[in-house]
């Protein structure tokens, strides 16, 4: 059962320009695309984001670019009177092996500027997050170059499989809570 029958928000992090569409740093957007398709949701424009509300679920993909993601998140949270316990942020993590899901309820920004922006704007590092492993970083690349590089076609196929698993994960998070979702989905998916 949904806790308190309260609104929940799914937030995917990425960069809005087409040139970033298949980069590792756009993993949050790629995962959200599958969630939106599965939930039969079309996005509009609100909070300087691609946004939709369906029932008591909010969907947000900030158009602010990664480093300012928190601006869109806090605007939506304030409008709908959400707390830090009502959101799930989906994003890439280059320190985790490719194909791995790691669900956490708090933590530092870990070098991810989108998460840093959200922490700064909402005033806490306590919020649910789904880190999607895209690592390890290639030895001959900086982390910035790595996350802004495109997935290979094989990796994109695997991301598609992971996205389908992420649909089950968010449905579990919405209906059964974070602990159940962690027990079921904190693992290597591919």
Question: Which residue in 8, 11, 23, 25 is the catalytic one?
Answer: 25
Cβ-contact 24, 38 below 8 angstroms: no
**Sequence-ordered list of residues with C-beta below 8 angstroms from that of 151, at least 6 positions apart, any chain:** 22, 23, 24, 134, 159
Q: Are 104 and 88 in contact (CB under 8 A)?
A: no
Phi (first) and psi of residue 46, to 5 degrees: -160, 150
25 is catalytic: yes
- Strand-pair category, 187-188 with 100-104: antiparallel
Residue numbers annotated as active site = 25
């Amino acid at each position: 059962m949904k806790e308190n029958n309260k609104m929940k928000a799914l937030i995917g992090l990425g960069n809005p320009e087409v040139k970033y569409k298949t980069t590792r740093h756009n993993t949050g957007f790629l995962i959200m695309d599958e969630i939106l398709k599965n939930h039969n949701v079309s996005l509009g424009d609100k909070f300087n984001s691609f946004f939709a509300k369906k029932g008591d679920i909010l969907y947000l993909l900030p158009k602010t670019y990664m480093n300012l993601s928190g601006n869109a998140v806090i605007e939506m949270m304030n409008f709908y009177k959400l707390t830090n316990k009502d959101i799930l942020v989906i994003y890439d993590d280059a320190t985790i092996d490719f194909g791995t899901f790691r669900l956490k309820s708090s933590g530092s920004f870990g070098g991810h500027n989108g998460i840093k922006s959200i922490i700064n704007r909402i005033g806490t590092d306590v919020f649910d997050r789904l880190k999607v492993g895209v690592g390890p970083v290639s030895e001959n690349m900086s982390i910035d170059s790595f996350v802004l590089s495109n997935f290979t076609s094989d990796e994109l196929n695997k991301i598609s499989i992971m996205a389908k698993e992420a649909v089950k994960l968010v449905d579990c998070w919405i209906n059964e809570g974070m602990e159940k979702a962690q027990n079921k989905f904190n693992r290597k998916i591919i």
